Amino acid sequence: MAKAKSKSTATLGVHSEVGQLHKVMVCAPSLAHSRLTPTNCDDLLFDDVLWVQNAKRDHFDFMTKMREFNIEVLEMHNLLAETVAIPQAKKWLLDRKVTENNVGPGLMQETRAYLESLEPRNLAEFLIGGLSVLDLSVKLSKSEFIELAREAHGATEYLLPPLPNTLYTRDTTCWIYGGVTLNPLYWPARKEETFLTTAIYKFHPSFTSETFEVWWGDPDAKHGLATVEGGDVMPVGNGAVLIGMSERTSRQGISQLAAALFEKDAASQVIIAAMPKLRSAMHLDTVFTFADRDLVTLYPEIMDQVKAVVLRPGDGKGALHVTLENKPFVDVVARALNLKKLRVVETGGDAYAAERQQWDSGNNLVAAKPGVVFAYDRNTTTNTHLRKEGIEVVTIVGAELGRGRGGGHCMTCPIVRDPIDY
């Protein structure tokens, strides 16, 4: 991966939450979602199985609408196929995916040979969608070790795990100002995802020709309790980064990331949102996102409980200065952006409707530019309140795409976004 000597020389980077979005990575529904069943969807972090054909249609519509705003949309299957077409990249990935821990002793050689034989597009499909014991050729299926694998769980026994949560590209990496993080994810079902995005950044010409920093993270390292997921991370501008301390992003991960950003002069402060650890509010962006330079939408039932903690560079290398704030989180964020206050649109409806719309990602917006956001169509009351505040709401269909509890913000990994002058 290319590395800049300073953040000012970076050619890729995300410098706000609402500035003009120029480039974004998404991952369309595919084979991985066809692998979801009623018996495994909980383990794979989905609340139900998807109607995959409709999910594909709705995701394509989302990509089309973003392109109508002159946003360059990079689809992850395409990027990965182009990446594994590079021999060095294919070797790097397969060395890390085809392991005894994933495949099991006795099947390493056969599995590696099968994957090596595939065309790049098919290989990319299996790397994201998972390789079942039934996917191997008839010749390889004669192996006694394959019979052992089938005896374990039959068709649902995987040599490579399906990764349906790649749909939510926000989490695996975070573009923060002039660089990126390679995130250690919380749940075992997602940990393999970071290898895929790292390979893309490391080998794909779209990234090797650019200049950027890798702030923190290494998929080859053991991070222990230090986990970070991109749904909790927002580079809002003016040198500030918001990070939710949530179900999936730990204080260990936050403090390590903050220290790395400060050491490289990439940020001036990290504002932690100390959140309750709930499935319904797994990330900060499930209850709080920006819609305009001075407007946020939030779910008050959760955000009223959030405590703000501000990290700044301390004395000495790696040292952090910690301030426990007594102001509401939104006021701390407003101060960081040199604003008197933030306008707030709360989740719409009565107590029942608001809880339902938060569950359905009503506060999970992604901005195309200041005052223009993509939102799920089903959250009609919240969307109406946003429109009354002058926000242009471009709706996308969320009935299938939201079954893993993520909206437009979750489904997008911004790679190039303009700053906002605060």
Helix, strand, or coil here: 327? coil
Exposed (0-12), middle (13-18) or buried (19+): which is 86, by Cβ within 10 Å? middle
Long-range contact list for 203-206, CB < 8 A, 24+ apart? 203/83, 203/86, 203/88, 203/89, 203/92, 204/79, 204/82, 204/83, 204/86, 204/89, 205/82, 206/74, 206/79
From 41, 174, 410, 413, active-site residue: 410
Spatial distance between the Cα atoms of 194 and 169, rounded to a whole number of angstroms: 10
Helix, strand, or coil here: 395? strand
Q: Which two tokens stand for residue 140?
A: 């390889």
Are 185 and 197 contacting, i.e. CB atoms less than 8 angstroms apart? no
Q: Annotated catalytic, 410?
A: yes
Residues 6+ apart with CB under 8 A from 203: 83, 86, 88, 89, 92
Spatial distance between the Cα atoms of 108 and 303, rounded to a whole number of angstroms: 48
Report in angstroms the alpha-carbon separations of 44 from 57, 222, 280: 22, 22, 16
Spatial distance between the Cα atoms of 323 and 216, rounded to a whole number of angstroms: 23
Active-site residues, by number, are 410
